[in-house]
Structure 1
Amino acid sequence: MQSSATVLVYSDDANTRAQVRLAAGRRPASDVPPVDFVECATLPAVLRALEAGGVDVCVLDGETVPAGGMGVCRQIKDEIFDCPPVLLLIGRPQDAWLASWSRADAAVTLPVEPVEFADSLAALLRSRLSVEA
């Protein structure tokens, strides 16, 4: 198992980024490595972080303004080679179809529910890290 995993968190809301960090904890599941967070509040920061490499999973806030996480997800799936899996934070369960349109790998609703979020994040980390191994 690698020593740590990197999770990019994109939201223009510092409180949402804090919810994500708290829900994931240091290690979202016992069988995945501890996580380090890269926080981004703007689309250019997301693109720079992904171009630099080393991101294992992206958590994107679908409610972010002006570049929402759904559009950002679709863009990075098209533009980033070997794009990491994306966990999309959606405002309402009815927005799940938009998460599918954006090509997100998983979606959870806001506000972040810690157990559901940690389970989803751990599943994406497992899939990403097993592919890299």
Structure 2
Amino acid sequence: MSSPHKPIIIVYSDDSAVRQSIVAALGKKVAADLPEHQIEEFATGPALRSYIDRKNVSGNLRADLFILDGEAVPEGGMGIARQLKDEVFNCPPVLLITGRREDAWLAAWSRAEASVIHPIDPFTLANTVANLMRTSAVATA
């Protein structure tokens, strides 16, 4: 990133309880060595796409990480992840939340960089997000 900013984490789930558990697990910072982040929540695929269309200025999306619920209905996070990777230039990392450990292959199909399983373990989620942020451009912002 060329200018310092608060990293933006996009959270998508149709279930408000899932979104709340993600937000609670992430807190204001996921690790002491990383900056405070901002979270944008979305309950529907169309709302998320509208945000991406508005914020994707000159091919430079104003988002640093996507956390997508693979169990969301009617539109699951896996399909959205695949679409993001296909359509967004330099797409930020994607973390998928899957229903079962056995669904990791679906997360790989969607080209997500990481996955965790329901129910959300706050420590696993925060550590996974921290690792993704460290290995992405967010860490150098």
> What TM-score do you get using the length of structure 2 for normalisation?
0.88
Q: CA deviation at 1:3?
A: 4.5
**Contact 1:69/1:88 (<8 A) preserved:** yes
Counterpart residue number, 1:127: 135
Aligned 1:1-133 pairs, distance under 5 A: 2-51=4-53, 52=55, 53-129=61-137, 133=141
Q: CA deviation at 1:131?
A: 7.5
Q: Give secondary structure in 1 for the equivalent of 2:75.
A: coil
Q: Give secondary structure in 2 for the equivalent of 1:29.
A: coil
Q: Give secondary structure in 2 for the equivalent of 1:60.
A: strand
Q: CA deviation at 1:45?
A: 1.5
Distance 1:44 1:3, change over 3 A: same
Structure 1 spans left out of the alignment, 5+ residues: none
- Aligned pair count? 133
Give the % identical residues. 44
Tell me how large the CA RMSD over aligned residues is: 1.7
Q: Distance in 2 between matches of 1:92 and 1:16?
A: 15
Structure 2 spans left out of the alignment, 5+ residues: 56-60
**Contact 2:34/2:139 (<8 A) preserved:** no
Q: Distance in 2 between matches of 1:73 and 1:15?
A: 21
